[in-house]
């Protein structure tokens, strides 16, 4: 089976969209649609024809262009069932643990509530790629708009069970801000310092820092490191639970 191809493109101020393409069956999908014109431009640049739109969650920067893109391409929309009523336009609702195919490639649906309650992530086991929407970011995690800290903590626990070499596409370029927060709470982390050097030089020339990998996140993302001794010591929370440490980190990040 030929490898599935990925094409990432920026839209709005800090969003990323991705096209997925299975050349064997000439099947193409996109992750979210905040801006129909941006997706159409990406399709024109790749020469691919859109078949499916995969929605992560209901926020406008992920769905605002849905109707226009459907109309322009005739693509079918796959997304969360519990936001179908507010969204409209979803042709096939999916839930946690379900699988479907893009061409010959299997996609596993992961429900990762916290940022929103409807949040879905899409994992392609053969490619070793996951689309984490606004749940897991490079060195960060989504703000808690609809779920509480425990909900997000459990969702991130689900993602960290994927193989460490998994490639992560998230929906926003928040890496530099996230990383500067991470440096503040995890000051002794050498891998974090090295990563931030690289991130700052990429951003200085307006290059993307996404995709990332789960192993990089395990080493540098404070929201996956609530059990880390250095972070706990910095917070004065040596004997707290992982959830308590995570909750404190999320609160501090909101005020960063």
Residues taking part in catalysis: 57, 59, 61-62, 115, 134, 172
CB of 64 to Fe ion, least distance (A): 11
**Distance (Å, whole) CA 110 – CA 94:** 9
Binding residue (CB under 5 A) for Zn ion from 21, 52, 58, 59: 59
Q: Using the rule CB under 5 A, give the single segment among 32-40, 59-67, 102-110, 215-223 that binds Zn ion.
A: 59-67
CB of 134 to Zn ion, least distance (A): 4
Does 61 bind Fe ion (CB under 5 A)? Our answer is yes
CB of 189 to Fe ion, least distance (A): 27
Nearest residue by C-beta to Zn ion? 59
Q: Binders of Fe ion: how many residues, by CB under 5 A?
A: 2
**Closer residue to Fe ion in complex, CB, 139/219:** 139
**Distance (Å, whole) CA 59 – CA 57:** 6
CB of 119 to Zn ion, least distance (A): 8
Does 118 bind Zn ion (CB under 5 A)? Our answer is no
- Nearest residue to 34 (alpha-carbon basis) of 57, 10, 7, 65: 65
Question: 3-state class of 164 per DSSP?
Answer: coil
Question: Residue 117: CB partners within 8 Å, gap ≥ 6?
Answer: 82, 146, 147
Question: 3-state class of 132 per DSSP?
Answer: strand
- Cα 236 to the chain's mean position, in Å? 30
| Helix extents (H) in the chain | 36-46, 60-63, 66-73, 84-87, 149-160, 175-185, 190-204, 214-220, 229-235, 242-254
**Closer residue to Fe ion in complex, CB, 172/195:** 172
Q: Binders of Zn ion: how many residues, by CB under 5 A?
A: 2
Output DSSP code: residue 211. Answer: -
**Closer residue to Zn ion in complex, CB, 69/185:** 69
**Closer residue to Fe ion in complex, CB, 134/217:** 134
Binding residue (CB under 5 A) for Zn ion from 22, 118, 134, 228: 134
- Nearest residue to 24 (alpha-carbon basis) of 7, 6, 1, 58: 1
Return residues touching Fe ion (CB under 5 A). 61, 134
Return residues touching Zn ion (CB under 5 A). 59, 134
């Amino acid at each position: 089976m030929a490898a599935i191809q990925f094409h990432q493109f920026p839209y709005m101020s800090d969003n990323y969209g991705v096209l997925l393409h299975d050349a064997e069956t000439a099947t193409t999908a996109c992750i979210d649609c905040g801006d129909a014109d941006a997706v159409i431009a990406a399709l024109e640049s790749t020469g691919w024809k859109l078949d499916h739109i995969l929605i992560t969650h209901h926020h406008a920067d992920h769905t605002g262009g849905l109707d226009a893109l459907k109309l322009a391409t005739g693509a079918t929309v796959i997304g969360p069932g519990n936001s179908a009523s507010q969204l409209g336009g979803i042709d096939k609702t999916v839930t946690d643990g379900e699988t479907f195919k893009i061409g010959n490639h299997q996609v596993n649906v992961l429900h990762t509530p916290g940022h929103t309650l409807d949040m879905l992530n899409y994992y392609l086991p053969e490619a070793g790629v996951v689309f984490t929407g606004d749940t897991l970011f490079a060195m960060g995690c989504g703000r808690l708009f609809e779920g509480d800290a425990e909900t997000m903590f459990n969702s991130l626990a689900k993602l960290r069970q994927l193989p460490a070499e998994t490639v992560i596409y998230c929906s926003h370029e928040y890496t530099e801000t996230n990383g500067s927060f991470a440096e503040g709470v995890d000051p002794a982390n050498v891998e974090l310092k090295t990563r931030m050097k690289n991130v700052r030089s990429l951003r200085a020339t307006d290059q993307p820092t996404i995709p990332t990998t789960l192993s990089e996140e395990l080493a540098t993302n404070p929201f996956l490191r609530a059990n880390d001794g250095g972070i706990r010591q910095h917070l004065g929370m040596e004997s707290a639970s992982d959830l308590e440490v995570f909750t404190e980190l999320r609160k501090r990040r909101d005020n960063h």
